[in-house]
Amino acid sequence: MTKAARACIALWACLLLATGLAGCGGGDNSHAGVGSGGTGSFSDGRITGFGSIVVNGIHFDQTTAVVIDADQQPRTAAELKLGMVVQLKGSPITTQGGRQVANASVIQLSSELLGPVDALGTAGLTVMGQTVLVNSGTYFSDDLPLGLSSLVAADLVEVYGFHDATNDTYVATRIEKRDPLLVQHYVVKGVLKNLNLGTGYCSIGAQTLAYAWQNPPAGLANGRVARALIPVSTAPVGGTWTAQSMSLNAPLVAQRDQASIDGLVTDLTVGNHRLFSVNGIAVDATTGPCAVCATLHLGDHLQVKGRLVDSVLVASEVNLSN
């Protein structure tokens, strides 16, 4: 693909995203008052099937979709694989032949980790100081036919999945081997903690990060899901990596009549467990049924359905996921 063509695709992606984000940067998904939603659908979850791509049980036709990554760079539909975690902006969901279907207009894929393998074990691996667990539901790229046994220390991998803030581990849904010559930044994404704007340090998972920018992104706070970019040309100093930039996880769009999220609870409001976050996206379950809310914990795996209002998912259904 030519440079001009890639630029056009990136511009088109920005235009599509402009309905929900200011430019192509991101948004604030903190808990707030809610109003009315917007026409169409939004989903955040794993790819569990193909034909059309299946996310959260919904079959999305991706034929005309713009595919991008978390850095707003153009990707292709052929790069979408089982186990990848994606956000989708789509048409209204309808039922056809007993299936929920919609047309995807934008598909954004986003991994949790991208970096070198530190160590390997029988139940998982360590990537940039982060513990990554695998299970029977973890997919591996074709160049890893033996799964973990195909990897060695220092291999560069990209990990899709979920960050469990209760024990600072990552549950991998897909692991891919990456070519170091094609990677400019390492990635660490997860629940932010130990943020100290005075000293310029924070933590994501088990990794301490220093940050080099003067003005932190708006809304940066402990408990939010953040994504740090670390130049591959740098090395950790005393076990601490220096992040070049950091952004907050937010939905592709701010308003949608139909919305669904599948993932782990990343934040809970003290004293009101009907206000929480899943995958870093704020959920308001104060107006609908939520039998599980009374006993909700960080790290619980939920499926949430409702509508998206001002970047908050107003829940009509909250269920524990297997």
DSSP 240: B
Is the pLDDT at 20 greater than 50? The verdict is: no
CA 68, chain centre distance (Å)? 13
The larger pLDDT score, comparing residue 124 to residue 39, is at: 124
Task: List, for residues 215-248, the tens digit of each pLDDT value.
Answer: 778 888 999 999 999 999 989 999 899 999 999 9
Q: How confident is the model at residue 10 (pLDDT cuts 50, 70, 90)?
A: very low
Q: How many CA atoms lie within 13 A of 269 on its CB side?
A: 16
pLDDT recorded at residue 129: 92
Only one residue has tokens 């694989």, namely 81
Residue 99, φ and ψ in degrees, nearest 5:
-115, 145
Q: Is 52 exposed, middle or buried (0-12, 13-18, 19+ CB in 10 A)?
A: middle
Nearest of 243, 228, 285, 240 to residue 261 by alpha carbon: 285
* pLDDT(143) > 90: yes
Average pLDDT over residues 64-86: 96
β-pairing, 85-90 vs 99-109, is antiparallel
Percentage of the chain modeled with pLDDT above 70: 88
3-state secondary structure of 241: strand
Sort residue 212 into left (φ over 0), alpha (ψ -120 to 50) or beta: alpha
109 closest CA partner among 79, 83, 86, 90: 86
pLDDT value at position 102? Answer: 98
Query: What confidence score (pLDDT) does residue 153 get?
Result: 98
pLDDT recorded at residue 277: 96
pLDDT confidence band for 199 (50 / 70 / 90): confident
| Amino acid (one-letter) located at 165 | A
pLDDT at 218: 85
- Please state the rounded mean pLDDT for residues 62-67: 96
Q: What is the pLDDT of residues 151-192, one digit of tens each?
A: 999 999 999 999 998 999 999 999 999 999 999 999 999 999
Facing residues of 175 across strands?
A: 140, 159
Q: Are 230 and 241 in contact (CB under 8 A)?
A: yes
Q: Which residue has the tokens 């030519």?
A: 2
Answer yes or no: are the C-beta atoms of 72 and 14 closer than 8 Å. Answer: yes
C-alpha span between 171 and 74 (Å, rounded): 26
Q: How confident is the model at residue 308 (pLDDT cuts 50, 70, 90)?
A: very high
pLDDT at 1 over 60: no
The predicted pLDDT at position 104 comes to 97
CATH homologous superfamily of domain 256-320?
Copper binding periplasmic protein CusF (2.40.50.320)
Per-residue pLDDT band at 112 (split at 50, 70, 90): very high
**Domains of the chain by residue range:** 113-248, 256-320
d(CA 85, CA 94): 23
